[in-house]
Amino acid sequence: MKFICPNIIFIVFLLSTATITSSQSESSETNIISRFQQFLKIKTDHPTPNYKQSSDFLISQAKSLSLQSQTIEHVPGKPLVLLKWTGTSPELPAIMLYSHTDVVPAEHDKWDHPPFDAHLDSEGRIYARGSQDMKCVGMQYLEAVRKLKQWGFQPKRTIYLAFAPDEEIGGHDGAEKFSLSRVFQDLNVGIVLDEGLASPDDYYRAFYAERSPWWLKIKAVGIPGHGAKLYDNSAMENLLKSIEIIRRYRASQFDLIKAGLKADGEVISINMAFLKAGTPSPTGFVMNLQPSEAEAGFDIRVPPTADTESLERRIAEEWAPTWRNMSFTLGQFKQKVSGCDASGKPVVTKTDSSNPWWALLENAVQEAGGKLGKPEIFPASTDARYFRNLGLPAIGFSPMANTPILLHDHNEYLHKDEYLKGIKIYESIIKAYASYDEHVNDERSKDEL
């Protein structure tokens, strides 16, 4: 009894102050987090994402916000949910708040909390696959819209929220087909916001371009021979020479990062993805035989600013030269190999005064009490490339400061306070973007890009 009495007093005290000060905001904060958790609990992990359930959830959110909604399926079973908040000047190019609903798979047994439970721990961390990549952003857009609507804000520009499928498997049936569709063209989009990355320090990160993946396979052929014989020009020897050269190049790029001279997105990264050689036997491989073929595969990421011609020359002359009896293929992204748009210009979104959306974002983040780091090149791929390829400005931004980068990792989490802060950041950005009513700059920035 001695212990119970003070507890009761404490609870009563809490309840009474809560009612006096901010019962509404208390409960709405709980609701905001609970809506985020609901979205996180939907199993949209590959290879069998439950898009039906996520679409239903998003459409119910749209209804509660009086947003128009539309479901677009370029490929059956792969819905893109498009929500619309019509502006008072609908002739102005629209704002697109873009996110993807799918997530990468999780190894459940390696997580401290099940990846689809959206467990909120006592520290305030919300654990879930997609908590950083990128269900957080999708829900933050919605919550920011909810707040703006509550305040009676009227957007001048029309605002679209797009929730797309399949980003994690390349976006071909999602963003790519959408970006090339008549529906998208008719939206008259002027600026796209897509995902960025968490940042371990105080500064939010924003991305204006991304590296293109080049998937390189090199193959060597040579005379087979006895495993005991030393001779030149075997397939293995020729392949290993290439691997040594590639490794030196990899180290030279990595050294630039280690020395702090370049950021992750600014170098050409190379990692070996596979090695394939040997003559199979019932117990493994034949050990006394030097094989006649040997192959290796590399994931290469090329920044849009890189000299791609010289890289292609390097591959042909040093990494897989025909005189060393080697050949190579560049994988499925070959057509995008240059990182350039149709007119041959690098696919980047300007971050200078020629792009008003950049300055608006910077100011809006600052006004909401956030700090923005130096604009960066995204080290991997996002759906933003499909919009940049059209010549549209697209900025990659996920407001998660003071957060370890855990996308695709075990125990991916986001702290609830960071999540809530991010909503305020988006309120500020959406307000600034939707109120911006210059015509001239739109056209100019589009042409320049």
Ligand X SMILES: *[C@@H]1O[C@H](CO)[C@@H](O)[C@H](O)[C@H]1NC(C)=O
| 357, 435 Cβ separation under 8 angstroms | no
168 appears as a binding residue in the annotation: yes
Which contiguous run of DSSP H or E holds residue 430? helix 416-435
100 appears as a binding residue in the annotation: yes
Cα angle: 163, vertex 167, 172; to 5 degrees: 105
195 appears as a binding residue in the annotation: yes
CB of 323 to ligand X, least distance (A): 6
- The 3-state DSSP composition of the chain as helix, strand, coil percent (nearest 5) reads 40, 25, 35
C-beta of 225 vs 346, nearer to ligand X: 225
| 396, 382 Cβ separation under 8 angstroms | yes
- Residue 160 CA to residue 98 CA, distance in Å, equals 8
CB of 375 to ligand X, least distance (A): 46
Enter the tokens of residue 169. Answer: 């498997």
For β-strands 203-204 and 371-372, DSSP reports them as parallel
Name the region of 410 (left: φ>0; alpha: ψ -120 to 50; beta: rest): beta
Enter the tokens of residue 184. Answer: 């998208």
- Residue 16 CA to residue 26 CA, distance in Å, equals 13
Enter the tokens of residue 174. Answer: 């999602």
Mapped onto helix, strand or coil, the DSSP state of residue 188 is coil
Report the C-alpha dihedral over residues 144, 150, 153, 157, rounded to 10 degrees. 50
C-beta of 55 vs 238, nearer to ligand X: 238
C-beta of 279 vs 325, nearer to ligand X: 325
CB of 294 to ligand X, least distance (A): 12
Enter the tokens of residue 80. Answer: 């893109």
408 appears as a binding residue in the annotation: yes
Cβ count within 10 A of residue 130: 30
C-beta of 180 vs 223, nearer to ligand X: 223
Catalytic residues: 102, 167
CB of 320 to ligand X, least distance (A): 12
Contact pick of 233, 271, 322, 329 for ligand X (by CB under 6 A): 233
- Residue 243 CA to residue 273 CA, distance in Å, equals 12
Contact pick of 54, 179, 212, 238 for ligand X (by CB under 6 A): 238
- Residue 289 CA to residue 225 CA, distance in Å, equals 6
- Residue 376 CA to residue 351 CA, distance in Å, equals 10
Q: Which positions from 255 through 314 interact with ligand X, judged by CB under 6 A?
A: none
Site mask, ligand X, residues 183-222, x = CB under 6 A? ---------------------------------------x
Mapped onto helix, strand or coil, the DSSP state of residue 404 is coil
113 appears as a binding residue in the annotation: no
C-beta of 25 vs 233, nearer to ligand X: 233
Residue nearest to ligand X (CB): 233
Enter the tokens of residue 256. Answer: 């630039």
Q: Which positions from 6 through 65 interact with ligand X, judged by CB under 6 A?
A: none
CB of 235 to ligand X, least distance (A): 8
C-beta of 190 vs 321, nearer to ligand X: 321
CB of 318 to ligand X, least distance (A): 14
- Residue 155 CA to residue 92 CA, distance in Å, equals 11
Q: At which residue do the structure tokens 């990549």 appear?
A: 133
Site mask, ligand X, residues 309-348, x = CB under 6 A? ---------------xx-----------------------
Enter the tokens of residue 312. Answer: 């292609």
C-beta of 236 vs 380, nearer to ligand X: 236
Q: Residue numbers of the site for ligand X (CB under 6 A)? A: 222-223, 233, 238, 324-325
Residues of the binding site for Zn(2+): 100, 133, 168, 195, 408
